């Protein structure tokens, strides 16, 4: 290819397309679900929504649509905001007992009068398709998890399905939340990455990020990772979903700057976002197979 004098060939990262990869995963799930139905088992997910949080309503609707696509039955419980903690716990007990139901998902956040932790602990670990129960978190930390937290597991799929080998790589995770930073760090470690976790008290975060072969950003601050914080060839997974004042979505990574140096990068939207539901569907299948000894 010829370039005009004065023009420099710009290096561009390969964009990791979360929409396509998540669709591949949902199609794989659909195939397995069909095989299970042939064996007389219909995978089934119970989705519980308390109150009328508009964002939660959208998430729940998307989860039900994904179930339909994948051939997973969904049981829907849309409960009034005023429901008591006891009533919610009783419903979870009933679903724990219900042999037809393989997975239980309680959409967060819950109203303030309900103790989220108590609710998540009540879900039977084998039906914990969000992977938030301490039992499953413990399994994750010893490298034996079957039901892995969905967004972190989605990050690993994005990396692996892009053909990037994690083994031996310097992996830097920015963020240490229980739902993203910590579990994604454990999963990278399980893939033999050399993992460093950064957080708000980390000194010289730029120096740490510059060492990364693989960088996962889960900070919740728009455009936090700048071009001068990464090295050439880095693989960047941007978990952040931030709504800007103009209504647009943006990640934790300054895409325009970082894309010029990265070898692979996820966009926002269309990167990690669609993976969460795909991995939830995968977890439903894992739970269903385990419960039926298949």
Q: Which residues are catalytic?
A: 63, 107, 130
User: H/E element holding 19?
Assistant: helix 18-38
Neighbouring C-alpha atoms within 13 Å toward the C-beta of 242: 17
Residues 18-77 that bind ligand NDP (CB under 6 A): none
User: H/E element holding 214?
Assistant: strand 214-217
105 touches ligand NDP by CB under 6 A: no
State the number of binding residues for ligand NDP (CB under 6 A). Answer: 25
Closest to 240 in 3D by CA, of 267, 277, 207, 203: 267
The DSSP call for residue 33 is: H
For residue 172, the tally of other CB atoms under 10 A from its CB is: 29
273 touches ligand NDP by CB under 6 A: yes
Closer by beta carbon to ligand NDP, 139 or else 155: 155
CB of 152 to ligand NDP, least distance (A): 9
Binding mask 196-215 for ligand NDP (x = CB under 6 A): --xxxxx--x----------
Secondary structure (3-state) at 96:
helix
For residue 40, the tally of other CB atoms under 10 A from its CB is: 7
CB of 219 to ligand NDP, least distance (A): 4
Closer by beta carbon to ligand NDP, 14 or else 176: 176
Single out the residue of 218, 225, 236, 237 in contact with ligand NDP (rule: CB under 6 A).
218
Q: Which residues pair with 264 in a beta bridge?
A: 14, 235
Peptide bond connecting 225 to the previous residue in cis, omega within 30 degrees of 0: no
CB of 11 to ligand NDP, least distance (A): 26
Closer by beta carbon to ligand NDP, 161 or else 176: 176
**Dihedral angle sign, alpha carbons of residues 203, 271, 138, 97:** positive
Closer by beta carbon to ligand NDP, 26 or else 289: 26
Q: Tokens 């990050």: give the residue.
A: 155
Query: How far from 33 is each of 8, 41, 125, 287, CA to CA, in Å?
Result: 50, 8, 21, 12
**Dihedral angle sign, alpha carbons of residues 266, 269, 271, 272:** positive
For residue 36, the tally of other CB atoms under 10 A from its CB is: 20
Single out the residue of 14, 176, 210, 260 in contact with ligand NDP (rule: CB under 6 A).
176
CB of 253 to ligand NDP, least distance (A): 11
Single out the residue of 242, 290, 291, 292 in contact with ligand NDP (rule: CB under 6 A).
242
CB of 271 to ligand NDP, least distance (A): 8
179 touches ligand NDP by CB under 6 A: yes
281 touches ligand NDP by CB under 6 A: no
248 touches ligand NDP by CB under 6 A: no
Phi, psi of 7 (to 5 degrees): -95, 135
Who's near 293: CB < 8 A, 6+ residues apart?
none
Closer by beta carbon to ligand NDP, 101 or else 253: 253
Residues forming the site for ligand NDP (CB under 6 A): 151, 174-177, 179-181, 198-202, 205, 218-221, 239-242, 272-273, 276
């Amino acid at each position: 290819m010829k370039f005009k004098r004065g023009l420099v060939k710009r290096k561009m990262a390969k964009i990791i397309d979360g929409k396509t990869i998540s669709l591949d995963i949902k199609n794989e799930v659909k195939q397995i679900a069909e095989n299970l139905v042939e064996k007389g088992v219909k995978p089934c997910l119970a989705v519980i929504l308390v109150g009328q949080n508009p964002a939660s309503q959208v998430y729940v609707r998307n989860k039900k649509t994904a179930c339909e696509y994948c051939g997973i039955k969904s049981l829907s419980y849309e409960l009034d905001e005023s429901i008591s903690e006891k009533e919610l716990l009783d419903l979870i007990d009933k679903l724990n007992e219900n042999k037809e139901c393989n997975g239980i998902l309680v959409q967060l956040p819950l109203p303030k009068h309900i103790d989220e932790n108590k609710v998540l602990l009540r879900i039977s670990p084998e039906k914990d398709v969000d992977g938030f129960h301490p039992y499953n978190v413990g399994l994750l930390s010893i490298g034996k998890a079957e039901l892995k937290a969905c967004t972190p597991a989605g990050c690993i799929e994005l990396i692996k399905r892009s053909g990037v080998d994690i083994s031996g790589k310097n992996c830097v995770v920015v963020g240490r939340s229980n739902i993203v930073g910590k579990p994604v760090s454990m999963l990278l470690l399980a893939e033999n990455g050399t993992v460093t976790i950064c957080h708000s008290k980390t000194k010289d975060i730029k120096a740490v990020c510059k060492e990364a072969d693989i960088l996962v950003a889960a900070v919740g601050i728009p455009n936090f990772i700048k071009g001068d914080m990464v090295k050439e060839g880095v693989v960047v997974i941007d978990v952040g979903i931030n709504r800007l004042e103009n209504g647009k979505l943006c990640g934790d990574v300054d895409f325009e700057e970082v894309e010029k140096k990265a070898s692979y990068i996820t966009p926002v939207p269309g990167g990690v976002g669609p993976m969460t539901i795909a991995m939830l569907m995968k977890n439903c299948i894992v739970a269903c197979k385990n419960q039926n000894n298949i």
